[in-house]
Amino acid sequence: MTPAKTRSRRKKKLPVCTKKDLRTKKSKRRKCRVVKPKPKPTVPAVPPKPSPTGPVAAPPVTTPTPDAFPTAPAAEPTDGLRIYRGPFGVEQAQRMLFRAGFGPRPGQAEALAAMGLRSAVDALLSPGPVRLDGPPPTGPFLVGGALAPGDRYGHLHLDLLDRQVRSTDQLGERMVLVLHDWFAVSESATDRRLMPVHLELLRRAWRGSFRDLLLAVTQDPAMLQFLDSTSNRQGAPNENYARELMELYGLGADRGAYTEDDVREMARALTGFRNDYSDQLGPHNFRYDPSRHDPGVKTIFAGTPHERTGRLSWQDAVHAVVDHPLHASFVVLKTWSYFIPTQPTPETQRQLEALYRSGGERLEPLLEAILLHPDLHAGPAMVKPPVVFAAGMLRALGQGITTDAWVGLLASAGQHLGFPPNVAGWNDRAWLNTSTHSARWAIVAEALRSRLATAAAYRGQTEAPSDAVEAALSFWGRPAVSVDHAAALRRVSQETWSPRAVGDTYGSLENFLAHRQNALRQLVGAAPDFQVS
Amino acid sequence: MHCQDYARSHALAGAGLPMIEPGMPDPAGTGLTRRSVMLRSLGLGMAVYGASALGGVDQVEAAINDALGEHKVLVSVFVDGGWDALSVLAPFGNDHRHEARLAELRPGLAASVARDGANVFAADPSLSWHPAAAGLRDLWNDPVLGVAVAPAIGYSSPNYSHFTSRHFWEVGALEVSGTTGWMGRYLDRVGRADVPIQGVTMGGSLSPSLATSNVPVAAVYDIDAYRYDYRGASGRVAAAATAELRALAAKASGDTQRDQARLVTGASFRLVDDMSAAATTAPTSVTSYPADSSHFIDSLKDTARLLGTRVSGAALPIRCVALRAHGGYDTHSAQEPAFSTNLRITTQGIKAFWADLTARGQQDRVAMLVWSEFGRRPAENGSAGCDHGAAGSAFVIGPSVRQGLIGEFPGLVTHGAAGAGLMRDGNLRATSDFRGLYAALLEQWLGTDADGIVPGAGNRPGAGAFIRPRLF
C-alpha cells in the first residue's frame, strides 16, 4: 500500500512521524502517528486437507481459469509505482506464495486467487495473530518432546523449517530467512546458545525501521561474537564488523560508498563491547563498556557531503551508514533481489528508494510495492531456494517435521540454516548445480517416503493412465505444470501400461500401479519446472 | 538421444574419431596397444610418418590423449578467507631486518612460528615455512615434483573485501561485474556441450572460477553418494520417468531460470554415469591421507579416483577441478591454534594427494594451483589475529612445474622508506599479479592463448601485459 493511500484511509489528526521522530524514544516523541499499514484481511485458513494416500482417492480438481477471478480494482499508485493488472489466478497465487512465503497449503492458492491481488498482498502483510498450524515435530531426535535450537546441532534448522511449514505468518518467516541471509550469523563462529535470540530478533524487528534493526543487530550477542565486536576495543581495533556493516549490511561493496579509511575509523567508533566467558555459560554478559570505547575524534566518510566527525559512538556509526545517500539504493536492490530475479528499472528503483525513505526506512512498504509489482507476476520464473522447495512440499502434503534428515538433505541442497556458507550469506543466484540437484531429488524422495503408494491400496482396483497423472498432481496440491511437463507425465503413465510388462516385471497389476504412481510423484516433484516459481 | 548412451566414447566421437563402444576389448592377438588402435582410427596408421606432417609427435600424442579423455588437468585449491601469507612463509631466516620488523608488527603472533632451522625456505633463506606447512615444504623438497612459490601475489589497488577480491581472482580480472570464471572461459573455448565433468567442483556449490557461459560444468560432493534412486518405483516406470526427465531437460522453455533448471537436470543425469563409473571401477586411495575428518581430504581422494577412472581405457574427460581447502582462514581473532590446524590438514592433504596421483600413474597430466583471495595485514590487531590485507601467497605444484619463485618477497620496510615492502596503508605490496600467473597456466600448461580468457593478456610480450612467470 502506498503511503498516500494509507493516509487517505486514516484520520488526519496528527502529523506523520518523521525519521527524526522515529529515532526518538516513544515517550519523548512529539505527538505524531507512525504510518503502519491498516490491519488487513488475513489469509483464509485452509484446513490442511488430507492428501490422498490411495491414488484413487484423489477428488476431481478443477483448475480455475484465471478469468474466474477478476482482480479487484487496485489502488491507484499515487507514487508512480506500477501495479500488476493482469489476471491473478491460481497460477499467479502459487507463484506469490512461493516468492513471499513457502508455497501453498492445499486450497490456499485458490483462496488467495479469489481474493484478488490487492487483498492477497494485504493478507500476506498482515497475517493477524500468528499461529503454528499443522502437526508439530515428532521423532526421536526431539529433546523432552521439543526442538532444542539453542542446544542441539541441527535443531535451529529444524525449528526454522517447522515455522516455515506451519506459521500463519508466511511473509514474516520468509523475511526471517531473508535476514538470516542478509546478516548471515553462523553457528560455526557463534555460540549456538546465542542463535535463537538472534533469529527471534530478526523475526520481531523486521517490521520496524531498518535503522532500529541495524542498531539492534549491532549489539546482538550473536553478532557481537560472530564478527569479533567484543574484541574491538580502544587501542586495539578489530575491523571485522565495521567492514561488513558497510559492505554487506548497509551500503554495499564496489559502489564508491566508503573507503578503507572509513573502515578503520568506523571500527574505532564501534569499540567498547565486551562479554564474559565461562566454561559453563560460554560467552555471556554481553555489554557496552565505556572504558573500552575509543573516545577520540573519528571522521567517517571524510571529504564527502555526508562526512561525520567528532567523538563518534557506535550508534553514530550505525546512523552514519543509514543516513548515507547510497544506503536506500542498497536496501532497495537487495530486498528486491530476494523476490524478483530481474533488475528494477531505474525509475522503479528511484521510486522504491523514495518509498523507503518516506516510510521511515521500513522494509514493509518496499515489500508491499514489490509484491504488487508487474515484474513479480509477469516476469520470469525464479529458482526456489532449497528450504522453500522442501517446506513447500511439506506444506503441500500437510506434513510436519518427522525426521532430522532434513538437516543433512538441505545442507546437501545448499541451504543449511544456522550455517550460512560465509559472512555474505548464501549465493542466492546459484542454487542449482549437479550436486544440489541430486540433493533435491533426495528431498523429493524423502517427502514421498511416508506416503508411498502401495500395492495393498490398489488391491482389486485399476487406474487409467490419465487418472494416474491426475492423482500424482493432486498428491502435490496441483502445482502449475508446463505443457512439456504434463506431456512427459502422460507418456510415462501411458507407455508403461502394457499387460505383458506388468506381468513380467511387477508380478501383479496392483504392484505395477503402485510403482507407476510413485514414479509419477517423483517425476512431478523432481521436474525442472518444479524447481522454479 | 537418451543420455544412458553417454559414455567416455563420446569424447572420442566428439574428437572426430570412430565410436569405441564401452566394454570393447582391445584387439586380441594383434599386439596392438589401445593407442595404436587409436592411431589407426585416426587414419594415422603410419604414425611416425604422419606425425611429422601434422606437426610433430608431441602434438599427435596430445591429440590422442585428448581423444582418450586424458586432458591436461588443472586442479585449483581455494584457501577461503584470506590466509596469512606472512605465517605460511614467515619472514624468519637469514635477514634480521625482517625479523625485527615482524617482532614490531606482530608482538604476539610472531611467536607462533617456530624458528626452526630445518624449515628455512631454500629459494629465499630470509623466509621459513610455518611448521604446519610441512606438507608444502616436503613437496618443495620432493625430487620429482616442482613447486613454484609466489610469496607476495595480488594486483594493483588491492580490494580488502573478501568477496570482491575473491571475485577478481575467480573471474580472472579486476571487474566487479564479471560473471564467468577464468577456468570457465577456458572450458567455453575447449570444452563440449554435453560433458559436464570437464569442469568439476568437488563440493556442494559450484566454484565461480568454473562458471561458464556455454558449456555445462559439474559439482559433486561425494562421488559414492551421487545417485538418483526412486522410492517405491523400479523397472519400466522408473526408467521411463528418468528418460522423460532427460528429454524434458533438453528442451528450452525461453525462461532463463526455468531453462537453467532444465540444463542442470540434464547435466546431473549425465554426471550419474561418470560417478557410477568412478565409484565402481576406481579403487579407493591406497596412500595415506591425514586422518582428520575433513571434506577437503575426502574431496582430494575423490579427485584422485576420478582422475584414475578408466572406462574402456578412456579417462573421464576432466580438464579443471576446483576444491576448497580445509578450514576458514579469516583469522580476525585468535589466529592460533586454528590456523595451524587448518594449514596442517590442508598441506598434508595436498601432499597425500600427490602421492595418490603418483600411485595411480596420473601425476604427469596434473598441475595444481593453491590460492587465496588475499593475505592478511602485516600488523596484528588487538585480538591475536590480523585484519584483511593485500598480497598473499600462491603455489603451483606438479611434476612439470619449474621449481622457483614467482616474484620476490618484498620485505616489511615501512612505506616511504627505501626498499619499502609495505604500502601506505601498512599492507604487503604484491610482487606478482595473479592474472600473469593465470596467463602462464593457460599458455604453458593448458596450451591455449590467454588472450580472450584473461582480459588484458593479449598484447604480449611486455607493453602493459602482465608478466607471465615461466612456470613449466
Q: What is the pLDDT of residues B198-254, one digit of tens each?
A: 999 999 989 999 999 999 999 999 999 999 999 999 999 999 999 999 999 999 888
Predicted pLDDT at A15: 55
Query: Is A457 touching B (CB cutoff 8 A)?
Result: no
Residue A31 pLDDT: 60
* Cα angle value B417/B420/B423 (rounded, 5°): 105
Identity of the residue numbered A64: P
Q: What whole-number distance in Å separates Cα of residue B152 and Cα of residue B85? A: 8
Shared domain check, B95 and B34: no
SS3 A102: coil
Per-residue model confidence (pLDDT) at position B50 = 38
B53, B107: one domain? no
Indicate if the pLDDT at residue B21 is higher than 50.
no
Structural contact between residues B362 and B304, judged by C-beta atoms closer than 8 angstroms: yes
Q: Which of A437, A492, A529 sits opposite B264 (nearest CB)?
A: A437
| pLDDT band at A411; cut points 50, 70, 90 | very high
Q: Domain for residue B454, yes or no?
A: no
Cis peptide before A52 (omega within 30 of 0): no
CB contact under 8 A, B257 and A488: no
Decide if A83 contacts A374 (C-beta within 8 A): yes
Distance CA A355, CA A333 (A): 13
Helix (H, G, I), strand (E, B) or coil at A374: helix
Q: Is the pLDDT of residue A48 over 80?
A: no
More confident residue, B34 or B153: B153
Residues B4, B309 contacting (CB under 8 angstroms): no
- Are B36 and B165 within one domain? no
pLDDT, residue A26, reads 54
Cell reading at B234: 523400479
Instruction: For residues B289 and B169, state if they share a domain.
Output: yes
Distance in angstroms (rounded) separating the CA atoms of residues A325 and A301: 11
List the single best residue of A384, A434, A518 to mutate versus B (max B Cβ within 10 A). A434
Q: Cell 566518510 appears where?
A: A301
Same domain membership, residue B75 and residue B29: no
In this predicted structure, what is the pLDDT of residue B394? 98
Reported ipTM: the value is 0.82
| Residue A372: per-residue pLDDT | 98
C-alpha separations of B225 from A209, B221, B276, B280 in Å: 46, 8, 9, 12
Are B148 and B404 contacting, i.e. CB atoms less than 8 angstroms apart?
yes
Residue A74 pLDDT > 60? no
Q: Please tell me if residue A237 touches chain B, with a CB cutoff of 8 Å.
A: yes
Does B440 score more than 60 pLDDT?
yes
- Residue B43 pLDDT grade (very low, low, confident, very high; cuts 50, 70, 90): very low
A435, A449, A458: best to mutate for the B interface, most B CBs within 10 A: A435
Say what the pLDDT of residue B12 is.
28
Query: Which residues in chain B are contacts of A519 at CB distance < 8 A?
Result: 230, 233, 237-238, 240-241
Between B240 and A495, the more confident residue is B240
Confidence of residue B40 (pLDDT cuts 50, 70, 90): very low
Collapse the DSSP code of B287 into the 3-class scheme (helix H, G, I; strand E, B; otherwise coil) and give the result. coil
- The grid cell for A454 is 502401495
Asked if the structure places residue B262 within a domain, the reply is no
Q: Quick one: which of B430, B429, B368 has its CA closest to B153?
A: B430
Check the CA dihedral A287-A290-A292-A297 and report its sign: positive
B387 and B356 housed in the same domain: yes
A229 touches A270 (CB < 8 A): yes
Inform me whether the pLDDT recorded for B60 exceeds 80. Answer: no
Contact B330, B374 (CB under 8 A): no
- Confidence grade of residue B11 (pLDDT, cut at 50, 70, 90): very low
The CATH number of the domain holding residue B108 is 3.40.720
C-alpha distance from A275 to closest chain B C-alpha (Å)? 14
Assign B176 a pLDDT band (cuts: 50, 70, 90).
Answer: confident
B332 within a domain of the structure (yes/no): yes
Instruction: Choose the weakest-confidence range: A373-387, A519-533, B167-181.
Output: B167-181
Chain A residues whose beta carbon lies within 8 Å of the beta carbon of residue B226: 435, 438
Q: For testing the chain A interface, which of B106, B179, B257 should be mutated: the one with the most A CBs within 10 Å?
A: B257
Whether the CB-CB separation of B249 and B262 falls below 8 Å is answered with yes
- Alpha-carbon torsion B394, B397, B401, B405, what sign? positive
List, in sequence order, every residue forming a beta bridge with B366; answer none if it has no partner: B73
- Domain encompassing residue B12: 3-65
- B316 inside domain: yes
Four-CA torsion A18, A24, A30, A36, nearest 10 degrees: 50
Span of A132-146, A410-424, A519-533, B446-460 with lowest mean pLDDT: B446-460
Residue B122 and residue B46 share a domain: no
Share of chain B above pLDDT 90, in %: 69
**Three-state SS for A233?**
strand
> Do residues B152 and B216 share a domain?
yes
Q: Is B266 within the bounds of a domain?
A: no
User: Is pLDDT above 60 for B445?
Assistant: yes
Question: Scanning the structure block, which residue is given the C-alpha cell 539492534?
Answer: A216
B210/B186 Cα distance (integer angstroms): 9
Domain total in chain B: 2
- Three-class HEC string of A288-339: ECHHHCCCCCEEECCCCCCCEEECCCHHHHHHHHHHCCCHHHHHHHHHHHHH
Same domain, B81 and B47: no
pLDDT for A20: 55
If asked whether residues B303 and B376 sit together in one domain, one would say: yes
Query: Confidence class of residue A17 from pLDDT cuts 50, 70 and 90?
Result: low
Q: Is the confidence at residue B17, as pLDDT, over 50?
A: no
Q: Say if residue A232's pLDDT is above 70.
A: yes
On whether both B35 and B53 belong to a single domain, the answer is yes
CA A533 to chain centre: 14
pLDDT tens digits for A303-351? 999 999 999 999 999 999 999 999 999 999 999 999 999 999 999 999 9
Which residues, listed in sequence order, are joined to residue B182 by a DSSP beta bridge? none
Chain A residues closer than 8 Å to B235 by CB: 505-506, 515
Whether B86 and B51 map to the same domain: the answer is no
